[in-house]
Structure formats: C-alpha cells, structure tokens
Homo-oligomer: A and B are copies of this chain.
Amino acid sequence: MCQLLGMNCNKPASISFSFEGFCCRGGQTDEHSDGWGIAFFEEKGCRLIIDDKPSITSPLAELVKRNPVKSCNVIAHIRKATQGPVALENSHPFRRELWGRTWVFAHNGHLKTFAPDLFGAFLPVGATDSERAFCYLLQSLKARFGDTQPAVEVLHEALQALAEEIATHGVFNFLLSNGEVQFAHCSTLLHYVTRQYPFAKAHLVDCELSMDFNEHNHLDDCITVIATKPLTSNENWVAFAPGELKMFRNGVEQGAGERQLAMAC
C-alpha cells in the first residue's frame, strides 16, 4: 500500500521538515518506492510534482527539500503499487478542476471491487482504483450540488456519506483538498498532530533530524500535519477513528468544538 502526508495551516508554511522524514519511507526506511508526488496550493493556484521513481533518490524531491515552497494546503504521497503498473499516470496526487477550483486527491488503501459507473465528466487517465475513486467522488459531488460549490460544511457531510459508501469496497484512507480546506478520511490508519503555541522541539522517527518549532514559528501559527504513521517521536499524534472524515481549515479541525461539547453533555 502507500503512505499519505498532508498539511493544513493558517499561514503559508514549509512542509520540508515533515517531508524529509516522509521521503525516507519511499525506499529507505520503508518499501514505498513505486513513485511519489506532492501538491502545494498557493491561493487558487496549485503546483503538482509527481514522479514514478522512488522519492529517496529523486532529484525533484531533493529540490522540494532544498527550496521549500510555503503553502497552506499540501498533500503528498509515496506509492507501493497495488492496482496499476508503476507509471507517471498512476502516481498520486491526482488533480481535477471542479467548480472553478483545483481539487487534489491522494489515497492509501486498496479498493478491490470498486468499478463505479463514470459518466464522462471525470474519467481516469491511469489504471488505479484510487483515481477511479477520486473521479467518482467528484462526479457524485457535481451531480448533487450542480455547478456551484456549496458551503464546506455541507461538502463535509456529503463526503462523509460518499467515503462510507466507497469504503465498503476495501481500504480507503485519503486526503482531499481544494486549497481552501483539507479533508482527511481514515478507513484503517491515519494520524494527525496540530502544532501551535507553545511549540515543542520535534524529532523525526525516519532520520536523524530535529526541529525546534519555537525558532521557526510565530505565536499565532497553527499547523496541522496529517500522516499515515506519526512522523515524529515526541509529539502527541492523534489516531483517527476508523470511518472518520475530518475537515481542517486554517490548521484547525472543524467542528471539533461542537463534538467535544456534545460528548461533555
């Protein structure tokens, strides 16, 4: 299978530190060496870098580490091929335009029996179950909401139902963003950590690298990092519950306050 890395924050930030550890899993500390990719949103614009080579030896991955792009929404992926051969068109993240915005999607899992009817608005270019699921998600959102994007809270609810439906076909951990919010769905394995004041010093588990976030962040910075498995050894990574779809905006999980209140009652 694959691994996912996402970042959502309130001000453009660099993902270089987390990406450094994540890349090690693409052929060094782990076996995900069948390609990698990373998408950075800058307002409505989106840079997408994909490669069908291992991230650990990729010149493009080196460039991303050395020339950090600052972004409020990032989605990265390292691939261990299950469906679809090792090829550029099968490398995540995938992107499409819907409602005049770029949407980016990456998947960890395996949807063995998923062959949805796709009517032509969004068709897969490659041969992965993942791109099929992405096309189906966007097709379903467009069919339901027409030509205008609804409020993100409404999208969240619709995506929860769609994710549940697709997850009946197998393992469906995914990250999805339109540059405004980031959705993260856990089917089996997904974690996140929110970094905010007071900041800590963090140490990567995949390589000998530490960072003191006090030195790099401002008091009002709020950064959530989402990853298949925790990337650092001394931070409070929170495991998603199976079936959970979280929505992050400005680095904060949306709706968390309401849920905490409901649980307290």
Contact = CB atoms under 8 A, between A and B. Distances in A.
Contacts of A44: 87-89, 125-126
A94 B121 CA distance: 18
A205 interface: no
A48 B39 CA distance: 11
A97 to B, nearest CB: 6
Contacts of A113: none
Interface string A115-129: 000011111111000
**This protein's copies in its complex:** 2
A122 B89 CA distance: 21
A100 interface: yes
Nearest to A118: B100
Contact of A91 (B45, B95, B102): B45
Interface in A8-37: none
Chain A: interface size category = 35 or more
A123 B101 CA distance: 8
A49 interface: yes
B88 A101 contact: no
Nearest to A142: B120
24 contacts: A42-B87, A42-B88, A43-B87, A43-B88, A43-B89, A44-B88, A44-B89, A44-B125, A45-B87, A45-B90, A46-B89, A47-B50, A47-B51, A47-B88, A48-B48, A59-B66, A59-B67, A60-B67, A63-B63, A89-B102, A96-B97, A99-B123, A100-B125, A121-B121
Given A42-B88, A63-B63, A89-B102, 4 more contacts: A45-B50, A45-B89, A45-B91, A97-B122
Interface of A: 42-52, 59-60, 63, 66-67, 87-91, 95-97, 99-102, 119-126, 142, 146-147
